[in-house]
Chain A
Amino acid sequence: MARAVVTLPAQAKRGEIIEIKTLAAHSMETGFRRTQTGELIPRDIIRRFSCTYNGTEVYRVDLHPAIAANPLIVFTTIATETGTLSFQWVGDNGYTANETAPIRVE
């Protein structure tokens, strides 16, 4: 289950700065840990998170080992027009998660 949760205001005034909170379920295995028998546990992390606002990329972040499991990413953007925000997480072993959220701008 590639579970992700996105929280943002449902509506905003034009030009207002809005805060967006995102949470993705992921173990973020660093690739540096070993099992009790000494074998390396392979890396399994989210590598990139991006947010597009009506098709325009407004936020992007590269993730690296040693970022906590279930990463919480909070960022802001300016409410410019009514439309949809799309969120995408991409990671190792074919992991992808997608979420969308509508916003009404007055």
Chain B
Amino acid sequence: MSLRTALLLAACLLSAGAAAGEIPLSERRSGYELMGRETRAMQDDDATNPGMLWVLDGETLWRKKAGAADRACAACHGDARTSMKGVAARYPAFDAALKRPVNLEQRINMCRTGRQKAPPLAFESRELLALTAYVARQSRGLPINIAIDARSKPFLDAGSEAFHRRQGQLNLACSQCHDDNWGKRLAGSVIPQAHPTGYPLYRLEWQGLGSLGRRMRNCLVGIRAEPYAYGAPEFVDLELYLMWRANGMKIETPAVRP
């Protein structure tokens, strides 16, 4: 092989590598489009979507007084259908007091401890999932709209770095599956593009509702990496990056996934 041919080949390989990186907007797919007809039907009909059980619980909790302040969410925020519309599409959002982004679960808990003077709800507890699902449900059908400014940029970069970093005993980066090999199969399941459009969502495998944090912990365990704790800054950065990466896609909460 001449030097010239070798260089040409190397250039081809490099450009192919670059093309496999980011997913162009026209090729973005929600996990919804990759799943079976029956599971899609289950999500589409509120009468069959089990996630609605949590949404209804959340509606009850929204109106229920809590904490030493004896106030309900509704006492400040009123009707969630109007006040919470579009909120989930903006989260994780930068919090000026904490000087870092917080996700929707953390925001709800900040309200609980700060305004309601109540103990925070445990991550993945039925109550926190129900409230989060109820709040996020109000954004269903609205496009994800993560705005990045100078304050949140370092956290987005940290999330992006984590997404592209090889880790765990299998030495895999998130991007190797979700950017480079989406649509192919991993142990019989279709690899999705990892757009968090429907969280908290009902996973048939879990037989229940779960947060994006739970999903990411599953992924980390899958690549034999040490998972971070729920609400860890590393996870929120990654969540910020994933939501930003899905900008413009529609919120599906409560979604159903296999």
Q: Convert A22-61 into 0s and 1s, putting 1 for each residue whose CB lies closer than 8 angstroms to a CB of B.
A: 0101011000000000000000000000000000000000
Known: A1-B57, A3-B56, A3-B57. A70 touches B47 (CB 8 A): no
Q: Convert A1-12 into 0s and 1s, putting 1 for each residue whose CB lies closer than 8 angstroms to a CB of B.
A: 101010100000
Bound-state Cα–Cα, A70 to B50, Å: 7
Distance from A32 Cβ to chain B, minimum over Cβ atoms (Å): 14
User: For B46, what are the chain A residues with a Cβ–Cβ distance below 8 Å?
Assistant: 7
Bound-state Cα–Cα, A74 to B38, Å: 14
User: For A68, what are the chain B residues with a Cβ–Cβ distance below 8 Å?
Assistant: 204, 207
Residue of A nearest to B60 (CB): A1
B191 at interface by CB-CB < 8 Å: no
B104 at interface by CB-CB < 8 Å: no
Q: Which of A21, A69, A70 has the most CB of B within 10 A?
A: A70
B53 and A70 form a contact (CB under 8 A)? yes
Bound-state Cα–Cα, A5 to B208, Å: 16
Chain A interface residue number, banded: 10 to 19
Distance from A94 Cβ to chain B, minimum over Cβ atoms (Å): 19
A23 and B57 form a contact (CB under 8 A)? no
Chain B interface residue number, banded: 10 to 19
B207 and A23 form a contact (CB under 8 A)? no
Known: A5-B47, A72-B48. A23 touches B53 (CB 8 A): yes
Bound-state Cα–Cα, A83 to B118, Å: 44
Q: Convert B29-42 into 0s and 1s, putting 1 for each residue whose CB lies closer than 8 angstroms to a CB of A.
A: 00000000000001
B52 at interface by CB-CB < 8 Å: yes
User: For B50, what are the chain A residues with a Cβ–Cβ distance below 8 Å?
Assistant: 23, 25, 69-70, 72
A70 and B48 form a contact (CB under 8 A)? no
Query: In chain B between 202 and 217, which residues have their CB closer than 8 angstroms to a CB of chain A?
Result: 204, 207-208
A5 and B53 form a contact (CB under 8 A)? yes
Bound-state Cα–Cα, A5 to B57, Å: 11
Query: In chain A between 62 and 89, which residues have their CB closer than 8 angstroms to a CB of chain B?
Result: 68-70, 72, 74
Distance from A71 Cβ to chain B, minimum over Cβ atoms (Å): 9
Bound-state Cα–Cα, A3 to B51, Å: 12
Known: A21-B47, A23-B47. A5 touches B207 (CB 8 A): no
Bound-state Cα–Cα, A3 to B52, Å: 10
B208 and A69 form a contact (CB under 8 A)? yes
Bound-state Cα–Cα, A36 to B92, Å: 34
Bound-state Cα–Cα, A69 to B60, Å: 22
Distance from A96 Cβ to chain B, minimum over Cβ atoms (Å): 17
A23 contact from B52, B204, B208, Cβ within 8 A:
B52
Residue of B nearest to A74 (CB): B48
Q: A: which residues have CB within 8 A of B? A: 1, 3, 5, 7, 21, 23, 25, 27-28, 68-70, 72, 74
19 contacts between A and B (CB under 8 A): A1-B60, A5-B53, A5-B56, A7-B46, A7-B47, A25-B50, A25-B53, A25-B57, A27-B207, A27-B208, A28-B207, A68-B207, A69-B50, A70-B53, A70-B207, A72-B42, A72-B48, A72-B50, A74-B48
